[in-house]
Amino acid sequence: MHAFEDLLARVKADPAVVGLVLTGSQARGMATVHSDHDVHVVVGSRDERWHTTRRIAELDEIVCTLDELADTSDLWQRYAFRGARVLLDRLGGDVAALVERQAVPTEVEATAWARDALDGYVNLAYRAAKSRRDGNTLAATLDERDSVPWLLTTVFALHGRLRPYNKYLRWELETYPLPAPWMAAAFPARALRDPVGMFPDVARPARERGHGDVLDAWGDGLTLLNVGV
């Protein structure tokens, strides 16, 4: 029996398991011949049967308690639940609600992330622009590359979203489209090729959403970035 099918059989026979959540490429319809199954086994509390994560070639069996599933403090881990499939919910929808809470930030969370990431993006874009102006191509290129994660976090937070894992960036934009210029066909490549050049496109929605003070704190530095918004 395949490891995933064996897990399903064990879970079905054990009422201590209250939920089963499939994540990763299998859940998102992106599986290849090399993809394993990433499955969160949700229990009320750990016991000798369900106590730790087990990883083998075909299966990541990730045991978590309800309290752990409800904990949204691990920001990077939360994207794992975007597009997840709830295979079992013995709590009448409570497991599915916790999965949704992981995958979708609150307005307060998204606002805080947007402001923090926007400031980091400006910082690196400004450094890159100064180095390029001064002929320091290496420093400029490194700062441009470093700005990409900040750019991605800013754009998605401005739209009330989690930043996707890089592997799923195109999937995210195809499945949950954003308005121009953040389309799947062009945004990922442009973000890598010219992240600093996208600054005006970032600044406009940032100001529209009330984050102009973050930009204005950089004073005349914005002139170097040709941000006329």
CATH number of the domain within which 40 lies: 3.30.460.10
Q: Is residue 48 part of a domain?
A: yes
Judge contact between 44 and 18, C-beta under 8 A: yes
Q: Are residues 73 and 151 in the same domain?
A: no
Last residue of a domain, one of 45, 73, 103: 103
Last residue of a domain, one of 71, 88, 103: 103
Total domains in the chain come to 2
Q: Is residue 136 part of a domain?
A: yes
Last residue of a domain, one of 53, 73, 103: 103
Q: Are residues 117 and 65 in the same domain?
A: no
- Determine the Cα–Cα distance for residues 229 and 226; give it in Å rounded to an integer: 9
Q: Is residue 178 part of a domain?
A: yes
Q: Are residues 53 and 36 in the same domain?
A: yes
Token representation of residue 140: 């400029």
Q: Are residues 88 and 117 in the same domain?
A: no
| Domain extent at residue 85 | 3-103
Helix, strand, coil distribution of the chain in percent, nearest 5: 55, 10, 35
* pLDDT tens track for 5-60: 999 999 999 999 999 999 999 999 999 988 999 999 999 999 888 988 888 889 99
Q: Is residue 212 part of a domain?
A: yes
Q: Is residue 176 part of a domain?
A: yes
pTM higher than 0.85: yes
Q: Are residues 219 and 112 in the same domain?
A: yes
Q: Are residues 66 and 20 in the same domain?
A: yes
Q: Residues near 165 by Cβ (< 8 Å), separated by ≥ 6? A: 79
Q: Is residue 229 part of a domain?
A: no
Q: Are residues 115 and 146 in the same domain?
A: yes
Q: Are residues 159 and 56 in the same domain?
A: no
Q: Are residues 139 and 207 in the same domain?
A: yes
* pLDDT tens track for 98-155: 999 999 999 999 999 999 999 999 999 999 999 999 999 999 999 999 999 999 999 9
pLDDT at 2: 87
- Residue 196 vs residues 126, 157, 172: alpha-carbon distances, Å: 8, 18, 22
